[in-house]
């Protein structure tokens, strides 16, 4: 289960980032967070940008809807997903909820 948090502008999505992975993918849920793997290394925000792009692609959302709130240099991050309800985001995340590491 992902610990989504309501926000006045949308929903806060906790993410467990895995930079330097073999491939870009959303790998399921880990400790209440969506696990996102990217090939980019954590250098000058490149991995954060890659995670934002991967979230946009996997969740079929606009990049402008996804904003990093906290965790710029940490593996645990919180992204604000704008203009969406918690219920709608849960439906989008449903295919990834069966996977876990």
Q: Do the beta carbons of residue 11 and residue 79 sit within 8 Å? A: no
Report the domain count for the chain. 1
The model carries a pTM of 0.93
Walk along the chain (101 residues) in steps of 10 and give the mean pLDDT of each run. Answer: 95 98 95 96 94 97 98 97 96 82 52
Range of the domain at 14: 5-97
Residue 23's CATH number: 3.30.1200.10
């Amino acid at each position: 289960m992902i610990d989504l948090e309501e926000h006045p502008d949308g929903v806060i999505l906790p993410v467990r980032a895995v930079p330097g992975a073999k491939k870009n993918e959303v790998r399921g849920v880990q400790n209440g967070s969506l696990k996102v793997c990217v090939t980019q290394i954590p250098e000058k925000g490149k991995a954060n940008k890659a995670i934002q792009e991967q979230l946009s692609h996997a969740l079929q959302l606009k990049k402008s809807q996804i904003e990093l709130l906290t965790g710029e240099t940490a593996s645990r991050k919180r992204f604000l997903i704008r203009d969406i309800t918690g219920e709608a985001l849960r439906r989008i995340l449903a295919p990834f909820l069966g996977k876990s590491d």
